[in-house]
Amino acid sequence: MNKPKISAATALAAGAGAVAGAVALAVLPIGAANAARLSDQQQRQAGTITIQSWVETPLTENGLTATAWQCSKISGVITDQSGGPTWQDDAQYAAPTQMTGAAATAAAGKECATTVPSGGIVLVPPPEPGQYALGNYTATPDATSPSQYTGLSSFYSQQTILGQKGTIDLTIASAYNVTGNPVDVNGVEVAPGRTGPDATFVITGGTGAYSGLQGSGTWQGDFIQPNWCYRLATVKVWYVGQ
């Protein structure tokens, strides 16, 4: 039987088509990889983020240490969340801070559908006036007993936010008013349960999408009895090693 003959032109065209198809197949995954890399680069931009958190801090019997459990929302150049935050806007997030007593406690407990462990906290009682020669710490006479002084406790904590895209390691420090009276510090009145004017918030690293993340900023805390803390942080972030 005679086999059908294929002309040289037909063979050449077929070969060219096969090569083009192979090139197209090879280009597709490369294009997808490039798109993924571009998306990752867009997400890893330097800029400013806001971290809204409600932190549950059941204090130990001496009232100076606690394990922290939290839920958070992150916005700005990073968008993520941790735990199960329930608030839909800034007003709902801050609502418990506008209440008092049992109403505030109940409202704070509803801000997180679930909380996740994030680290520990340490409080150090305030020094006596003039106790530390290297610091310009000032204290306020107690309103009910002028011979006694009240002051801000030192607050220090290392925590990790367990986000959906990775983890963020942070260190926060502040002075905290854990007394029942307003405390004047260098002309700034700090209400009971709130952080002092120089509260710092530092991001020291991360994993996943936040590998190489660093940042520096400030935060405001508002403690609601018996063990909830409203924490609002504004942080400038950048990435190293990319």
Mean pLDDT, each 10-residue run in order, the chain (242 residues):
46 46 44 49 84 94 91 98 98 96 96 97 79 60 60 91 98 89 80 91 98 97 93 98 74
What SS3 state is found at 209?
helix
Instruction: Enter the pTM of the model.
Output: 0.78
Q: Which helix (H) or strand (E) holds 36?
A: helix 8-43
- For residues 119 and 158, give the distance between their C-alpha atoms in angstroms, rounded to a whole number: 6
- 118 close to 161: Cβ distance less than 8 angstroms: yes
